[in-house]
């Protein structure tokens, strides 16, 4: 869910990059991310400035959890505080960086020194990290590694689990059962997914310290000769967010090419081509054609569950199927409903699977 429905990361407390463009009166350096220390503890800080307002984050390298900052720029000084920890930071220009102090909620004060990160800082991140991570996020991942763990076999195909020890995040890689070039392509995607979720883990700080990510559990994958598919069940409560949340992130790959697939590759309703995800007609297609068509299909195979009942989840409402979570299973295509917050307990019911026979009516290649 962090990467899809939120496009996943929108659910987290925002992670800002530094853009402190100097104006005529204040000499702010052009660096985007700072490396430095609070007392003897190494930190990394990023800030974003809009006029005299500041937003940003910093993390201690020993823990890597984000601490959100807000503040103001006044007469050349940066005055910041954290709504999460109640830390207060005062900084003034010092050469190419900043120097100042941090005062904790308990009144302890420590010196702060910041310098722009070096030009090679981004290269210290894992080479498999997603390309869309910003410099601050890449610096946060620097030095982390994945440890290979046990192998498992599904349908005659072997996978091996890999874990990142600080976050405990686990993801599998495919080791046998498919052509080598296909496995290489799929495994590169799996690595990017894992590192994105490790970044999310540290980017979602909990209100009581540590991470606000309560779970990020990969289900046992579905491995067929044609597809590799799996879901990740996630729950989180990031400090500063209005509510805890949960959801499912899922991925499906073509086992003949390694390409990641979309739901449009399996379900199509209406006449004519399906509007692309970034086209103006996409929203109308989903609400007026796709969701009603999906409801009709689910009523065909799950008439009891799709019959509205008083004071219970109404799965006959097309609106809850506009953006379904989905994955492939042994029994068919699973689709998950998405309800408004007050009824989130209704999300992703266990029964909402469409058999492959129904899909092959429209997609003969799935037989």
| Residue 3, in any domain of the structure | no
On whether residue 150 sits in a domain, the answer given is yes
**What's the CATH number where 96 sits?**
2.40.128
Residue 72 has what pLDDT? Answer: 93
Digit-coded pLDDT (tens) for 65-76: 999 999 999 888
> Do the domain assignments include residue 54?
yes
CB atoms inside a 10 Å sphere around CB 51: 8
Nearest to 256 by CA among 228, 220, 222, 221: 228
Which of 91, 116, 141 represents a domain boundary (last residue)? 116
Q: In this model, does residue 45 exceed pLDDT 70?
A: yes
Same-domain check for residues 182 and 277: no
Q: Model confidence at 35, in pLDDT bands (50, 70, 90)?
A: very high
Q: Is residue 32 part of a domain?
A: yes
Q: Is residue 147 part of a domain?
A: yes
Residue 185 lies in a domain: yes
Residue 123 has pLDDT above 90, yes or no: no
Among 208, 227, 262, the domain boundary falls at 262
Whole-number Å distance between alpha carbons of 227 and 44: 41
Are 254 and 268 contained in the same domain? no
Looking at the structure, do residues 76 and 187 belong to the same domain, yes or no?
no
Which pTM does this prediction carry? 0.87
Q: Which CATH number covers residue 227? A: 3.30.565
- Percent of the chain with pLDDT strictly greater than 90: 73
| 135 and 246 housed in the same domain | yes
In a domain, 4, yes or no: no
Give the residue from 200, 231, 262 where a domain finishes.
262
Q: Are residues 229 and 273 in the same domain?
A: no
Residue 363 pLDDT level (bands cut at 50, 70, 90): low
**Total domain count, the chain:** 3
pLDDT class for 5, splitting at 50, 70, 90? very low
The reported pLDDT for the residue numbered 366 is: 52
pLDDT digits (tens, 9 = 90+) for 165-220: 999 999 999 999 999 999 999 999 999 999 999 999 999 988 777 789 998 999 99
Residue 10 has pLDDT above 60, yes or no: no
Residues 231 and 136 in one domain: yes
Rounded Cα–Cα distance for residues 186 and 71 (Å) = 43
Tokens 């003034």 found at: 92
Is the pLDDT assigned to residue 89 strictly greater than 90? Answer: yes
Residue 292 in any domain: the answer is yes
In which band, very low, low, confident or very high, does the pLDDT at 354 lie, cut at 50, 70 and 90?
very high
Instruction: Give the residue with greater pLDDT, 6 vs 67.
Output: 67
Residues 131 and 257 occupy one common structural domain: yes
- Residues 332 and 269 reside in one and the same domain: yes
Same domain, 257 and 129: yes
Q: How far apart are the C-alpha atoms of 144 and 47, rounded to whole Å?
A: 24
Q: Are residue 48 and residue 91 in the same domain, yes or no?
A: yes
CB contact set of 161 (below 8 Å; sequence gap of 6+): 148, 149, 150, 151, 152, 170, 171, 172
Query: How large is the average pLDDT for residues 302-324?
Result: 95
Task: Please tell me the distance from the alpha carbon of residue 164 to that of residue 185, in angstroms, as a whole number.
Answer: 21
Residues 6+ positions from 35 with CB-CB distance below 8 Å: 42, 43, 44, 114, 115, 116, 117, 118, 121, 139
Q: What pLDDT was estimated at residue 205?
A: 87
Encode pLDDT of 245-301 as tens digits: 888 999 999 999 999 999 999 999 998 899 999 999 999 999 999 999 999 999 999
* 144: Cα separation from own chain's centroid: 18
Choice among 23-32, 105-114, 144-153, 156-165 with the minimum mean pLDDT: 23-32
Q: Report the pLDDT value the prediction gives residue 310, as an integer from 0 to 100.
A: 87
Q: Are 192 and 275 within one domain?
A: no
What average pLDDT does the structure give for the chain? 88
**DSSP assignments along 181-249, one per residue:** HHHHHHHHHHHHHHHHHHHHHHHSB-TTSSBSEEEEEEPPPEE-SSEEEEEEEEEE--TT-SS-EEEEE
Shared domain check, 248 and 163: yes
Print the domain residue range for 34: 9-116
């Amino acid at each position: 869910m962090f990467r899809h429905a939120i496009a996943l990361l929108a659910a987290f407390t925002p992670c800002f990059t530094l853009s402190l463009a100097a104006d005529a009166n204040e000499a702010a350096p052009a660096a985007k991310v700072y490396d430095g220390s609070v007392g003897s503890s190494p930190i990394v800080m990023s800030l974003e400035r809009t006029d005299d307002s500041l937003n940003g984050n910093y993390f201690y390298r020993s823990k890597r959890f984000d601490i959100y900052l807000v503040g103001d720029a006044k007469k050349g000084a940066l005055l910041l505080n954290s709504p999460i920890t109640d830390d207060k930071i005062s900084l003034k220009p010092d050469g190419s960086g900043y120097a100042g102090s941090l005062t904790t909620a308990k009144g302890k004060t420590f010196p702060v020194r910041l310098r722009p990160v070096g030009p090679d800082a981004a290269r210290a991140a894992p080479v498999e990290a997603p390309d869309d991570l910003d410099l601050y996020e890449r610096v946060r991942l620097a030095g982390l590694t994945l440890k290979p763990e046990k192998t498992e076999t599904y349908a005659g195909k072997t996978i091996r689990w890999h874990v990142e020890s600080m976050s405990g995040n686990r993801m599998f890689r495919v080791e046998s059962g498919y052509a080598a070039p296909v496995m290489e392509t799929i495994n590169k995607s799996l690595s990017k997914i894992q590192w994105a979720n490790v970044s999310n883990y540290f980017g979602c700080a909990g209100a009581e310290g540590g991470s606000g990510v309560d779970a990020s559990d990969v289900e046992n994958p579905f491995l067929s000769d044609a597809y590799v598919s799996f879901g990740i069940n996630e729950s989180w409560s990031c400090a500063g967010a209005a509510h805890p949340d949960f959801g499912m992130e899922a991925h499906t790959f073509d086992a003949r090419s390694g390409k990641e697939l979309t739901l449009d590759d399996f379900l199509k309703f209406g006449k004519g081509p399906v509007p692309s995800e970034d086209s103006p007609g996409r929203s109308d297609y989903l609400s007026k054609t796709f969701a009603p068509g999906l409801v009709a299909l689910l009523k065909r195979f799950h008439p009891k569950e799709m019959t509205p009942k008083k004071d219970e989840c109404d799965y006959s409402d097309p609106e809850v199927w506009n953006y379904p979570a989905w994955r492939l299973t042994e029994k068919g295509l699973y689709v998950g409903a998405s309800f408004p917050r007050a009824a989130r307990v209704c999300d992703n019911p266990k029964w909402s699977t469409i058999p492959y026979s129904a899909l092959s009516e429209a997609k003969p290649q799935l037989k």
